């Protein structure tokens, strides 16, 4: 009986730990060798809110910001900051997307041959 209880407790604990990791983990970092892109949402959250403009920085390591293209609905490029950060503002209208996830496509490098997609969750305002 004790072994069964211990096994059930262990499985429950493992499930809770894995579930917490998945809910907190939003892919806001991309690395390709020495190249790196970090998405920093200035409100400090790892999601965006529909109909609310949110300043977002794409912090670049070993990537020229002049060779970076950022594509996605509601994204407005504001400029570059200290030659390593592309500043943007993102405002996605409610009921615009099929799923509550914004896909941001990144292209960079010679002939824009390299790329990545970021998937950022969207929520309704409370």
Q: For residue 98, what is the domain's CATH number?
A: 2.60.40.1930
Q: Which domain holds residue 49?
A: 27-123
Please check whether residue 6 lies inside any domain of the structure.
no
Please check whether residue 54 lies inside any domain of the structure.
yes
pLDDT in tens, the chain (126 residues): 555 444 444 434 334 444 433 334 468 999 999 999 999 998 889 999 999 999 999 999 999 988 899 999 999 999 988 889 999 999 999 888 889 999 999 999 989 999 999 999 999 987
Please check whether residue 60 lies inside any domain of the structure.
yes
Please check whether residue 83 lies inside any domain of the structure.
yes
pTM for this entry: 0.75
Tally of domains in the chain:
1
Please check whether residue 49 lies inside any domain of the structure.
yes
**HEC readout, the chain:** CHHHHHHHHHHHHHHHHHHHHHHHCCCCEEEECCEEEEEEECCCCCCEECCCCEEEEEEEECCCHHHCEEECCCEEEEEEECCCEEEEEECCCCCCCCCCEEEEEEEECHHHCEEEEEEEEEECCC
């Amino acid at each position: 009986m004790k072994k069964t209880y211990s096994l059930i407790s262990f499985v429950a604990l493992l499930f809770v730990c894995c579930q917490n990791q998945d809910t907190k983990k939003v892919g806001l970092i991309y690395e390709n060798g020495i190249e790196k892109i970090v998405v920093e949402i200035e409100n400090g959250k790892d999601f965006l809110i529909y109909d609310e403009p949110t300043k977002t920085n794409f912090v670049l390591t070993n990537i020229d910001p002049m060779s970076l293209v950022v594509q996605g609905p509601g994204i407005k490029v504001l400029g570059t900051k200290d030659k390593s950060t592309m500043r943007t503002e993102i405002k996605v209208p409610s009921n615009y997307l099929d799923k509550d996830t914004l896909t941001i496509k990144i292209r960079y490098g010679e002939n824009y041959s390299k790329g990545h997609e970021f998937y950022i969750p969207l929520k309704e305002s409370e």
